Chains A and B, each alone.
Chain A
Amino acid sequence: MEQASLAQQGALAGTAGAGTILGSDIQAYQNPYTQQVIDASTADIMRGAQMGLNALDTQASRAGAFGGSRHGVAMSELGRGVTEQIGQQSAALRQQGFMNAQQMAQQDIQNRMSQAAQLGALGQQSFGYGQAIQQGLSQQGAQQQAIQQALIDAAKAQYQGYTGQPAATLGYVSSALGATPTPQSQTTSRQPGLFDYLTLAATAYGK
Protein backbone atom coordinates (compact mmCIF):
# COMPACT_ATOMS: atom_id res chain seq x y z
CA MET A 1 0.00 0.00 0.00
CA GLU A 2 2.94 2.27 0.68
CA GLN A 3 4.11 1.83 -2.90
CA ALA A 4 0.63 2.50 -4.19
CA SER A 5 0.50 5.74 -2.24
CA LEU A 6 3.94 6.78 -3.46
CA ALA A 7 2.97 5.98 -7.03
CA GLN A 8 -0.15 8.10 -6.75
CA GLN A 9 1.83 10.95 -5.27
CA GLY A 10 4.38 10.63 -8.06
CA ALA A 11 1.61 10.65 -10.64
CA LEU A 12 0.10 13.77 -9.14
CA ALA A 13 3.47 15.49 -8.99
CA GLY A 14 4.28 14.44 -12.51
CA THR A 15 1.00 15.71 -13.86
CA ALA A 16 1.29 19.02 -12.05
CA GLY A 17 4.93 19.42 -13.00
CA ALA A 18 4.63 18.40 -16.63
CA GLY A 19 4.93 22.04 -17.46
CA THR A 20 3.78 24.28 -20.27
CA ILE A 21 5.28 25.54 -23.51
CA LEU A 22 5.50 28.97 -21.94
CA GLY A 23 7.50 27.64 -19.06
CA SER A 24 9.74 25.43 -21.15
CA ASP A 25 13.29 26.34 -22.05
CA ILE A 26 12.84 26.30 -25.85
CA GLN A 27 16.56 26.99 -26.26
CA ALA A 28 17.30 23.56 -24.86
CA TYR A 29 15.44 22.01 -27.75
CA GLN A 30 17.13 24.15 -30.45
CA ASN A 31 19.57 22.54 -32.87
CA PRO A 32 23.03 23.60 -31.64
CA TYR A 33 24.27 23.48 -35.21
CA THR A 34 21.65 25.90 -36.57
CA GLN A 35 24.22 28.65 -37.01
CA GLN A 36 26.54 26.31 -38.88
CA VAL A 37 23.69 25.37 -41.18
CA ILE A 38 22.92 29.04 -41.78
CA ASP A 39 26.58 29.78 -42.34
CA ALA A 40 26.90 26.93 -44.81
CA SER A 41 23.81 28.06 -46.65
CA THR A 42 25.07 31.63 -46.70
CA ALA A 43 28.41 30.44 -48.02
CA ASP A 44 26.64 28.63 -50.85
CA ILE A 45 24.72 31.76 -51.71
CA MET A 46 27.90 33.84 -51.61
CA ARG A 47 29.67 31.39 -53.88
CA GLY A 48 26.84 31.66 -56.30
CA ALA A 49 26.93 35.41 -55.99
CA GLN A 50 30.66 35.49 -56.63
CA MET A 51 30.22 33.38 -59.71
CA GLY A 52 27.53 35.78 -60.82
CA LEU A 53 29.79 38.72 -60.20
CA ASN A 54 32.59 37.11 -62.15
CA ALA A 55 30.30 36.50 -65.05
CA LEU A 56 29.06 40.07 -64.86
CA ASP A 57 32.62 41.39 -64.86
CA THR A 58 33.51 39.24 -67.85
CA GLN A 59 30.46 40.35 -69.68
CA ALA A 60 31.16 44.01 -68.90
CA SER A 61 34.79 43.62 -69.98
CA ARG A 62 33.85 42.15 -73.29
CA ALA A 63 31.41 45.00 -73.81
CA GLY A 64 34.07 47.45 -72.86
CA ALA A 65 31.82 48.71 -70.10
CA PHE A 66 33.77 47.36 -67.16
CA GLY A 67 33.58 49.91 -64.35
CA GLY A 68 30.82 51.86 -66.05
CA SER A 69 27.53 52.94 -64.61
CA ARG A 70 25.63 50.00 -66.05
CA HIS A 71 28.24 47.69 -64.66
CA GLY A 72 27.74 49.32 -61.32
CA VAL A 73 23.97 49.05 -61.49
CA ALA A 74 24.16 45.42 -62.45
CA MET A 75 26.54 44.71 -59.60
CA SER A 76 24.24 46.57 -57.19
CA GLU A 77 21.24 44.58 -58.32
CA LEU A 78 23.19 41.38 -57.93
CA GLY A 79 24.26 42.39 -54.44
CA ARG A 80 20.71 43.34 -53.42
CA GLY A 81 19.42 40.03 -54.61
CA VAL A 82 22.11 38.13 -52.73
CA THR A 83 21.44 40.02 -49.54
CA GLU A 84 17.72 39.39 -49.83
CA GLN A 85 18.26 35.72 -50.48
CA ILE A 86 20.63 35.36 -47.53
CA GLY A 87 18.15 37.09 -45.25
CA GLN A 88 15.22 34.99 -46.38
CA GLN A 89 17.21 31.78 -46.11
CA SER A 90 18.47 32.65 -42.65
CA ALA A 91 15.00 33.60 -41.42
CA ALA A 92 13.48 30.45 -42.84
CA LEU A 93 16.10 28.27 -41.23
CA ARG A 94 15.68 29.95 -37.86
CA GLN A 95 11.89 29.74 -38.13
CA GLN A 96 12.13 26.05 -38.93
CA GLY A 97 14.48 25.55 -36.03
CA PHE A 98 12.14 27.29 -33.61
CA MET A 99 9.08 25.37 -34.76
CA ASN A 100 10.98 22.15 -34.41
CA ALA A 101 12.12 23.07 -30.91
CA GLN A 102 8.60 24.04 -29.92
CA GLN A 103 7.27 20.76 -31.24
CA MET A 104 9.86 18.81 -29.30
CA ALA A 105 9.06 20.73 -26.11
CA GLN A 106 5.37 19.90 -26.56
CA GLN A 107 6.25 16.27 -27.14
CA ASP A 108 8.34 16.31 -23.98
CA ILE A 109 5.40 17.68 -21.98
CA GLN A 110 3.13 14.98 -23.36
CA ASN A 111 5.71 12.33 -22.53
CA ARG A 112 5.89 13.52 -18.94
CA MET A 113 2.13 13.49 -18.60
CA SER A 114 1.96 10.06 -20.16
CA GLN A 115 4.53 8.79 -17.69
CA ALA A 116 2.60 10.33 -14.82
CA ALA A 117 -0.60 8.66 -16.02
CA GLN A 118 1.20 5.37 -16.31
CA LEU A 119 2.56 5.75 -12.81
CA GLY A 120 -0.92 6.52 -11.56
CA ALA A 121 -2.28 3.43 -13.28
CA LEU A 122 0.44 1.30 -11.74
CA GLY A 123 -0.35 2.77 -8.36
CA GLN A 124 -4.01 1.98 -8.78
CA GLN A 125 -3.17 -1.54 -9.87
CA SER A 126 -0.92 -1.96 -6.88
CA PHE A 127 -3.68 -0.72 -4.60
CA GLY A 128 -6.06 -3.22 -6.17
CA TYR A 129 -3.62 -6.05 -5.51
CA GLY A 130 -3.33 -4.97 -1.91
CA GLN A 131 -7.08 -4.83 -1.45
CA ALA A 132 -7.54 -8.28 -3.00
CA ILE A 133 -4.95 -9.74 -0.65
CA GLN A 134 -6.64 -7.96 2.24
CA GLN A 135 -9.96 -9.50 1.28
CA GLY A 136 -8.42 -12.95 1.24
CA LEU A 137 -6.86 -12.48 4.64
CA SER A 138 -10.12 -11.22 6.08
CA GLN A 139 -12.10 -14.15 4.69
CA GLN A 140 -9.56 -16.61 5.98
CA GLY A 141 -9.66 -15.04 9.41
CA ALA A 142 -13.47 -15.00 9.39
CA GLN A 143 -13.56 -18.73 8.73
CA GLN A 144 -11.26 -19.37 11.65
CA GLN A 145 -13.31 -17.11 13.88
CA ALA A 146 -16.52 -18.92 12.91
CA ILE A 147 -15.05 -22.21 14.04
CA GLN A 148 -14.01 -20.70 17.35
CA GLN A 149 -17.47 -19.23 17.82
CA ALA A 150 -19.01 -22.65 17.14
CA LEU A 151 -16.81 -24.13 19.86
CA ILE A 152 -17.86 -21.40 22.26
CA ASP A 153 -21.53 -21.96 21.48
CA ALA A 154 -21.14 -25.69 22.06
CA ALA A 155 -19.47 -25.06 25.41
CA LYS A 156 -22.25 -22.69 26.45
CA ALA A 157 -24.86 -25.25 25.47
CA GLN A 158 -23.07 -27.83 27.57
CA TYR A 159 -23.05 -25.44 30.51
CA GLN A 160 -26.75 -24.76 30.09
CA GLY A 161 -27.31 -28.49 30.20
CA TYR A 162 -25.28 -28.69 33.37
CA THR A 163 -27.20 -25.94 35.15
CA GLY A 164 -30.56 -27.19 33.90
CA GLN A 165 -30.05 -30.80 34.89
CA PRO A 166 -31.61 -30.56 38.41
CA ALA A 167 -34.86 -29.15 37.03
CA ALA A 168 -34.84 -31.54 34.11
CA THR A 169 -34.62 -34.62 36.33
CA LEU A 170 -37.67 -33.58 38.35
CA GLY A 171 -39.82 -34.53 35.43
CA TYR A 172 -38.61 -38.10 35.31
CA VAL A 173 -40.92 -39.26 38.16
CA SER A 174 -43.89 -37.41 36.74
CA SER A 175 -43.25 -38.90 33.31
CA ALA A 176 -42.92 -42.37 34.77
CA LEU A 177 -46.11 -42.00 36.74
CA GLY A 178 -47.90 -40.73 33.70
CA ALA A 179 -46.87 -43.80 31.71
CA THR A 180 -47.75 -46.30 34.43
CA PRO A 181 -51.35 -47.41 35.02
CA THR A 182 -52.12 -46.28 38.53
CA PRO A 183 -54.60 -48.41 40.39
CA GLN A 184 -56.79 -46.62 42.81
CA SER A 185 -58.84 -48.10 45.54
CA GLN A 186 -61.96 -46.61 46.93
CA THR A 187 -63.42 -47.09 50.29
CA THR A 188 -66.97 -46.04 50.79
CA SER A 189 -68.30 -45.75 54.29
CA ARG A 190 -71.76 -44.80 55.45
CA GLN A 191 -72.76 -43.28 58.69
CA PRO A 192 -76.43 -44.22 59.48
CA GLY A 193 -78.70 -41.43 60.58
CA LEU A 194 -81.89 -41.20 62.70
CA PHE A 195 -84.21 -42.14 59.86
CA ASP A 196 -82.13 -45.22 59.19
CA TYR A 197 -82.66 -46.40 62.76
CA LEU A 198 -86.36 -45.57 62.70
CA THR A 199 -86.78 -47.45 59.46
CA LEU A 200 -84.93 -50.43 60.89
CA ALA A 201 -87.10 -50.40 63.98
CA ALA A 202 -90.26 -50.11 61.91
CA THR A 203 -89.21 -53.00 59.74
CA ALA A 204 -88.33 -55.15 62.73
CA TYR A 205 -91.61 -54.23 64.39
CA GLY A 206 -93.57 -55.00 61.28
CA LYS A 207 -92.16 -58.49 61.22
Chain B
Amino acid sequence: MSGGKGGSKSTVSEIPSWIEQPATRNLARAEQAQQLGYQPYYGIDVAGFNPTQVQAMQNQIGAAQAFGMAPQGMQAMQGMPQTQTIGGVTGYTSSPLYEQAVAAAQAADPNTAQIYGSLFGQDTGYTPKV
Protein backbone atom coordinates (compact mmCIF):
# COMPACT_ATOMS: atom_id res chain seq x y z
CA MET B 1 0.00 0.00 0.00
CA SER B 2 1.36 3.32 -0.84
CA GLY B 3 1.51 6.22 1.58
CA GLY B 4 -0.84 9.08 1.25
CA LYS B 5 -3.28 10.99 3.38
CA GLY B 6 -4.61 8.02 5.32
CA GLY B 7 -1.36 6.11 5.74
CA SER B 8 -0.97 2.44 4.91
CA LYS B 9 -0.91 -0.94 6.53
CA SER B 10 0.81 -4.13 5.36
CA THR B 11 0.81 -7.70 6.62
CA VAL B 12 3.59 -10.21 5.91
CA SER B 13 3.31 -13.92 6.63
CA GLU B 14 6.58 -15.55 7.43
CA ILE B 15 7.24 -19.22 6.82
CA PRO B 16 9.62 -20.93 9.18
CA SER B 17 12.94 -21.90 7.57
CA TRP B 18 12.57 -25.57 8.57
CA ILE B 19 9.55 -25.68 6.23
CA GLU B 20 10.87 -23.40 3.52
CA GLN B 21 14.09 -25.28 2.93
CA PRO B 22 12.56 -28.75 2.40
CA ALA B 23 9.87 -27.22 0.17
CA THR B 24 12.52 -25.52 -1.93
CA ARG B 25 14.52 -28.74 -2.23
CA ASN B 26 11.32 -30.60 -3.15
CA LEU B 27 10.65 -28.15 -5.93
CA ALA B 28 14.17 -28.62 -7.23
CA ARG B 29 13.72 -32.37 -7.08
CA ALA B 30 10.40 -32.09 -8.93
CA GLU B 31 12.06 -30.11 -11.69
CA GLN B 32 14.72 -32.77 -11.99
CA ALA B 33 12.12 -35.59 -12.01
CA GLN B 34 10.16 -33.68 -14.64
CA GLN B 35 13.09 -34.17 -17.00
CA LEU B 36 12.68 -37.93 -16.90
CA GLY B 37 11.15 -39.00 -20.17
CA TYR B 38 8.94 -41.99 -20.80
CA GLN B 39 10.74 -45.19 -19.89
CA PRO B 40 9.27 -47.96 -22.04
CA TYR B 41 9.07 -51.54 -20.85
CA TYR B 42 11.32 -53.78 -22.90
CA GLY B 43 10.49 -57.02 -21.18
CA ILE B 44 7.98 -59.69 -22.12
CA ASP B 45 4.35 -58.55 -22.37
CA VAL B 46 2.44 -61.69 -23.25
CA ALA B 47 3.19 -65.27 -22.30
CA GLY B 48 3.92 -67.45 -25.30
CA PHE B 49 2.64 -70.94 -26.03
CA ASN B 50 4.41 -73.60 -24.02
CA PRO B 51 5.51 -76.97 -25.48
CA THR B 52 2.32 -78.64 -24.27
CA GLN B 53 0.17 -76.18 -26.15
CA VAL B 54 2.36 -76.39 -29.24
CA GLN B 55 2.03 -80.17 -29.21
CA ALA B 56 -1.75 -79.91 -28.83
CA MET B 57 -1.92 -77.48 -31.73
CA GLN B 58 0.31 -79.68 -33.86
CA ASN B 59 -1.92 -82.65 -33.08
CA GLN B 60 -4.90 -80.62 -34.24
CA ILE B 61 -3.10 -79.85 -37.48
CA GLY B 62 -2.30 -83.53 -37.86
CA ALA B 63 -5.98 -84.37 -37.46
CA ALA B 64 -6.89 -81.82 -40.13
CA GLN B 65 -4.21 -83.25 -42.42
CA ALA B 66 -5.52 -86.77 -41.88
CA PHE B 67 -8.87 -85.62 -43.27
CA GLY B 68 -7.30 -83.64 -46.07
CA MET B 69 -8.17 -80.27 -44.59
CA ALA B 70 -4.67 -78.89 -44.07
CA PRO B 71 -1.59 -78.95 -46.29
CA GLN B 72 1.26 -81.27 -45.45
CA GLY B 73 4.13 -79.58 -43.70
CA MET B 74 1.94 -77.07 -41.89
CA GLN B 75 3.41 -76.11 -38.52
CA ALA B 76 1.60 -74.97 -35.42
CA MET B 77 3.68 -71.86 -34.85
CA GLN B 78 4.01 -70.66 -38.39
CA GLY B 79 3.04 -67.01 -38.79
CA MET B 80 3.69 -66.28 -35.10
CA PRO B 81 6.41 -63.84 -34.00
CA GLN B 82 9.61 -65.05 -32.44
CA THR B 83 9.45 -65.58 -28.70
CA GLN B 84 11.99 -64.60 -26.08
CA THR B 85 12.92 -66.56 -22.99
CA ILE B 86 13.92 -64.53 -19.95
CA GLY B 87 14.26 -66.06 -16.54
CA GLY B 88 12.68 -69.25 -17.79
CA VAL B 89 9.57 -67.42 -18.98
CA THR B 90 8.86 -67.51 -22.72
CA GLY B 91 6.75 -64.87 -24.34
CA TYR B 92 6.35 -62.00 -26.72
CA THR B 93 7.44 -58.40 -26.26
CA SER B 94 5.68 -55.45 -27.79
CA SER B 95 8.83 -53.29 -27.77
CA PRO B 96 9.60 -53.74 -31.50
CA LEU B 97 6.07 -52.60 -32.36
CA TYR B 98 6.37 -49.72 -29.90
CA GLU B 99 9.69 -48.60 -31.35
CA GLN B 100 8.33 -48.83 -34.85
CA ALA B 101 5.32 -46.72 -33.86
CA VAL B 102 7.52 -44.07 -32.23
CA ALA B 103 9.85 -43.97 -35.24
CA ALA B 104 6.90 -43.66 -37.61
CA ALA B 105 5.39 -40.84 -35.55
CA GLN B 106 8.71 -39.01 -35.46
CA ALA B 107 9.14 -39.41 -39.18
CA ALA B 108 5.62 -38.21 -39.86
CA ASP B 109 5.88 -35.12 -37.63
CA PRO B 110 9.49 -34.20 -36.86
CA ASN B 111 8.50 -30.83 -35.41
CA THR B 112 6.32 -32.37 -32.72
CA ALA B 113 9.00 -34.95 -32.08
CA GLN B 114 11.57 -32.22 -31.57
CA ILE B 115 9.29 -30.35 -29.15
CA TYR B 116 8.60 -33.59 -27.31
CA GLY B 117 12.29 -34.34 -27.00
CA SER B 118 13.08 -30.88 -25.70
CA LEU B 119 10.79 -31.43 -22.72
CA PHE B 120 12.98 -34.09 -21.27
CA GLY B 121 16.58 -35.00 -20.74
CA GLN B 122 17.95 -31.71 -19.38
CA ASP B 123 19.93 -32.08 -16.20
CA THR B 124 18.74 -29.31 -13.84
CA GLY B 125 21.73 -29.76 -11.55
CA TYR B 126 19.63 -31.00 -8.69
CA THR B 127 21.84 -32.06 -5.81
CA PRO B 128 20.21 -34.07 -3.04
CA LYS B 129 20.92 -32.99 0.51
CA VAL B 130 23.35 -35.40 2.08
In the complex with contacts A145-B47, A149-B47, A155-B43, A177-B19 CB distance below 8 A: yes
**B66 contacts A148, C-beta separation under 8 Å:** no
Interface size on B, residues (CB 8 A): 48
List, in ascending order, chain A residues with CB within 8 A of B63's CB.
Answer: 1, 4, 127, 130-131, 134
**B53 contacts A141, C-beta separation under 8 Å:** yes
Write out, one digit per residue, whether chain A residues 105-133 have a CB within 8 A of any chain B CB (1) or not (0).
00000000000000000000001001101
List, in ascending order, chain A residues with CB within 8 A of B97's CB.
Answer: none
Given the complex of chains A and B, what is the CA–CA distance between A176 and B16 in angstroms? Answer: 15
A173, A174, A182 — which one has the most chain B CB atoms within 10 A of its CB? A173
Residue in B closest to A148 when the chains form the complex, CB atoms: B47
**A184 contacts B6, C-beta separation under 8 Å:** no
**B36 contacts A195, C-beta separation under 8 Å:** no
**A173 contacts B5, C-beta separation under 8 Å:** no
Chain B min CB distance to A156 (Å):
6
Any chain A CB within 8 A of the CB of B49?
yes
Any chain A CB within 8 A of the CB of B74?
no
* 19 A–B contacts from the bound complex (CB under 8 Å): A137-B52, A141-B49, A141-B50, A141-B54, A145-B48, A148-B47, A148-B91, A152-B43, A156-B43, A159-B43, A167-B33, A173-B23, A173-B25, A182-B15, A186-B13, A192-B7, A193-B3, A193-B5, A195-B7
